[in-house]
């Protein structure tokens, strides 16, 4: 059986400083390499919190009968995780200096930095790996451009290339189509399908069932910090279940492997 990269057993995560919020409550799930997963849920349901657990940015509440393992370990180093998990979070888009050369954005992955600082030196091996990731994303012709001069879709591709630079075992994408127009979102979706097709394990976080590509074989539905359902898209992405998830009457229709959802009239 393939390796479990996330094993949660009755996990709670609290967020906030003074007034603490239970962002995840009693969550149990196992995610394995080789199986791409969509994490689906409305705003505030705990999707980003789950990703932050997965990338080691947040820790769960410590208590008996609860455990959180990443790649089989209860104790992990962020550095190790950075090599094994590539992440693209929506807030990252604006973190880079617009004057930065686009290729440097990708290279900065090797130092865990947001952009290149003048004293950073990169080995030939790192440069080759970054070039390969850029090539994979079809943006080689743009590498000398300023990051700030790229379109939103192009920037997103550079960030995915940055996440792929380490050749990670798992690629985590949090709402990757945010702020993309229809054409850019469609292109991105094709890229995600290719990545899964070429053997990458994707964890795709979205609030939109219509964004889940047919290649994704598992959906985890989160609501109010708990797992509402976990199973195949065909079984879960149905009118009744989606209406329950979002708290309003919805109608789901399947077409060529995609689920289209609209409000029930
Ligand atoms: N820094 C924080 N301080 C306090 N509460 C927080 C913080 N971040 C998230 N929360 C709360 O934790 C819960 C889960 O938030 P989370 O961001 O994981 O949800 P989400 O499903 O990713 O939402 P969205 O789709 O809006 O991004 C929410 O109730 C949210 O208000």
**Which tops the pLDDT comparison, 138 or 226?**
226
Q: Which region among 133-147, 174-188, 195-209 has the lowest average model confidence (pLDDT)?
A: 174-188
- Report pLDDT for 121: 87
Hey, is 135 helix, strand or coil?
helix
Q: Tell me the residue length of the chain.
A: 265
Q: For position 51, which CATH number holds? A: 3.40.50.300
pLDDT of 101 strictly over 70: yes
Q: pLDDT above 90 covers what percent of the chain?
A: 69
Atom 1 of ligand 1: nearest residue by CA position: 16
Nearest C-alpha neighbor of 114 from the set 136, 93, 134, 83: 93
- Report pLDDT for 255: 94
Q: Which region among 113-122, 152-161, 174-183 has the lowest average model confidence (pLDDT)?
A: 113-122
Say which residue the tokens 């229709």 belong to: 253
Cα–Cα distance for residue pair 263/265, rounded to 1 Å = 6
Asked if 129 contacts 167 with a C-beta cutoff of 8 angstroms, the reply is yes
Cα–Cα distance for residue pair 127/68, rounded to 1 Å = 35
Asked if 205 contacts 47 with a C-beta cutoff of 8 angstroms, the reply is yes
- Report pLDDT for 27: 97
- Report pLDDT for 76: 85
Token pair recorded at residue 16 = 């906030």
Q: pLDDT above 70 covers what percent of the chain?
A: 99
What does the pLDDT look like over 229-247, one tens digit per residue?
A: 999 999 999 999 999 999 9
- Report pLDDT for 136: 87
Report CA(47)–ligand 1 centroid distance (Å).
8
What does the pLDDT look like over 12-68, one tens digit per residue?
A: 999 988 778 999 999 999 999 999 999 999 999 999 999 999 988 899 998 888 999
122-150 average pLDDT score: 93
Band (1; pLDDT cuts 50, 70, 90): low
Q: Mention every residue, 6+ apart, whose C-beta is less than 8 A from residue 236.
A: 219, 221, 229, 230
Q: Mention every residue, 6+ apart, whose C-beta is less than 8 A from residue 51.
A: 39, 87, 89, 172, 174, 203, 205
180-192 average pLDDT score: 86
Q: Using only the alpha carbons of the chain, give its radius of gyration.
A: 19
Report CA(58)–ligand 1 centroid distance (Å).
12
- List helix spans (H) across the chain: 47-54, 78-84, 102-107, 124-136, 152-164, 182-197, 233-236, 239-246
Atom 30 of ligand 1: nearest residue by CA position: 44
Nearest C-alpha neighbor of 222 from the set 234, 205, 238, 239: 205
Instruction: Collect contacts of 153-158 with beta carbons under 8 A, ≥24 apart.
Output: 153/180, 153/181, 153/183, 153/184, 153/185, 153/187, 153/188, 155/93, 156/88, 156/93, 156/180, 156/184, 156/188, 157/188, 157/191, 158/102, 158/105, 158/106, 158/134
Report CA(147)–ligand 1 centroid distance (Å).
29
Nearest C-alpha neighbor of 110 from the set 163, 54, 47, 64: 163
Domain tally, the chain: 1
Atom 8 of ligand 1: nearest residue by CA position: 15
211-228 average pLDDT score: 96
Cα–Cα distance for residue pair 106/60, rounded to 1 Å = 31
Atom 10 of ligand 1: nearest residue by CA position: 15
Asked if 18 contacts 2 with a C-beta cutoff of 8 angstroms, the reply is no
What's the domain range around 60? 4-263
- Report pLDDT for 180: 81
What residues flank ligand 1, with Cβ below 6 Å? 15-16, 21, 23, 41, 43-49, 207
């Amino acid at each position: 059986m393939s390796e479990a990269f996330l094993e949660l057993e009755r996990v709670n995560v609290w967020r906030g400083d003074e007034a603490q919020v239970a962002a995840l409550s009693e969550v149990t799930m196992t995610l394995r390499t080789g199986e791409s997963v969509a994490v689906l849920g409305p705003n505030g349901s705990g999707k980003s919190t789950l990703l932050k657990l997965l990338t080691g940015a947040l820790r769960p509440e410590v208590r008996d009968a609860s455990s959180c393992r990443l790649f089989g370990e209860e104790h992990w180093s962020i550095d190790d995780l950075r090599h094994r998990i590539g992440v693209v979070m929506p807030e990252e888009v604006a973190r880079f200096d617009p004057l930065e050369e686009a290729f440097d954005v990708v290279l900065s992955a090797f130092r865990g930095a947001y952009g290149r600082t003048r004293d950073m030196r990169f080995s030939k091996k790192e440069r080759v790996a970054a070039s390969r990731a850029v090539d994979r994303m079809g943006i080689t012709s743009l590498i000398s451009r300023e990051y700030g001069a790229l379109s939103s879709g192009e920037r997103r591709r550079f960030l995915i290339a940055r996440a792929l630079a380490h050749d990670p075992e798992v690629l985590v994408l949090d709402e990757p189509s945010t702020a993309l127009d229809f054409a850019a979102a469609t292109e991105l979706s094709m890229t995600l399908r290719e990545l899964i097709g070429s053997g990458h394990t994707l964890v795709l976080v979205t609030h939109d069932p219509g964004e889940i590509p047919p290649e994704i074989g598992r959906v985890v539905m989160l609501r109010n910090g708990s797992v509402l359902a976990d199973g195949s898209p065909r079984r879960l992405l149905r009118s009744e279940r989606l209406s329950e998830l979002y708290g309003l009457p919805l109608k789901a229709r399947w077409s060529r492997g995609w689920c289209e959802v609209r409000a029930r009239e």
